[in-house]
A and B are shown apart, each in its own frame.
Chain A
Amino acid sequence: MAGITGKDQVLTNYAKQLETLDAPKGRSLTQDAVRRLRRNKAAVLSIFVVLFIILFAFVGPYFLPWTYDKIDWSGIRKPPNFEAGHYAGTDQNGRDMLARIMQGTQMSLIVAMVATLVSVIIGVIYGAVAGYFGGKVDAVMMRFVDIMYALPYILFVIILVVIFGRNPVLLFVGIGCLEWLTMARIVRGQTLSLKEREFVEAAKAGGAKPWTIIMRHIVPNLTGPVVIYATLTIPEIILTESFLSYLGLGVQEPQTSLGTLISFGAPVAETLPWMLIGPAVVLVSLLLCLTYIGDGLRDALDPKDR
Chain B
Amino acid sequence: MFGYAARRVLSALPVALIAVTACFFILRLAPGGPFDGERALPPQTLANLRAYYNLDLPLIQQYFIYVWGLVRGDFGPSMVYNDFTVSQMLAIGLPFTLMLGFTAFVIGTVVGLLAGSLSALYQNKLPDYVLVLLVMIGLVVPNFLIGSILQLVFGVYLGWFPAGGWQNGSIAHLVLPVTVLVLPHAGRTARLMRGSMIEVLGTNYVRTARSKGLGTRLILARHAIKPALLPVVSYLGPGLSYLLTGSLVVEQIFALPGIGRYFISAALNRDYGLVLGTTILYMFIILAVNLLVDIIYAWLDPKVRYN
Chain A positions within 8 Å of B, measured between CB atoms, are 146-147, 149-152, 154-156, 158-159, 162-164, 235, 239, 242-243, 246-247, 249, 259, 262-263, 266, 269-270, 276, 280, 283-284, 287-288, 291
B residues in contact with A280, CB < 8 Å = 145, 149
- Interface residue stretch chosen among B172-180, B204-212, B243-251: B243-251
Q: Decide yes or no: A263 and B156 within 8 Å by CB, A159-B27, A163-B30 being known contacts.
A: no
Taken together as a complex, chains A and B put the C-alpha atoms of A163 and B249 apart, in Å, by 20
8 contacts between A and B (CB under 8 A): A147-B19, A150-B237, A152-B282, A162-B267, A163-B26, A246-B144, A262-B145, A287-B140
Interface membership of B103, Cβ < 8 A: no
A-contacting residues, B125-145, CB 8 Å: 136-137, 139-145
**Partner pick for A247 among B30, B136, B248, CB 8 A cutoff:** B248
Q: A160 — nearest CB in chain B belongs to which residue? A: B26
**Partner pick for A149 among B27, B238, B279, CB 8 A cutoff:** B238
Beta-carbon contact of B267 and A291 below 8 Å: no
Q: How far is the CB of B66 from chain A (nearest CB, A)?
A: 16
Taken together as a complex, chains A and B put the C-alpha atoms of A151 and B278 apart, in Å, by 12
Beta-carbon contact of A283 and B268 below 8 Å: no
Beta-carbon contact of B15 and A147 below 8 Å: yes
Pairs A-B, 10 closest by C-beta atoms: A266-B148, A163-B30, A287-B140, A154-B245, A246-B144, A162-B267, A152-B282, A288-B140, A147-B15, A155-B279
A residues in contact with B252, CB < 8 Å = 247
| Chain B interface, DSSP helix/strand/loop, else mixed | helix
A-facing mask of B221-239, CB < 8 A → 1, else 0?
A: 0000000000000000110
Q: How far is the CB of A229 from chain B (nearest CB, A)?
A: 16
Q: How far is the CB of A143 from chain B (nearest CB, A)?
A: 8
Taken together as a complex, chains A and B put the C-alpha atoms of A30 and B75 apart, in Å, by 57
**Which of B27, B144, B264 has the largest number of chain A CB atoms within 10 A?**
B144
A residues in contact with B248, CB < 8 Å = 154, 247
Beta-carbon contact of A284 and B140 below 8 Å: yes
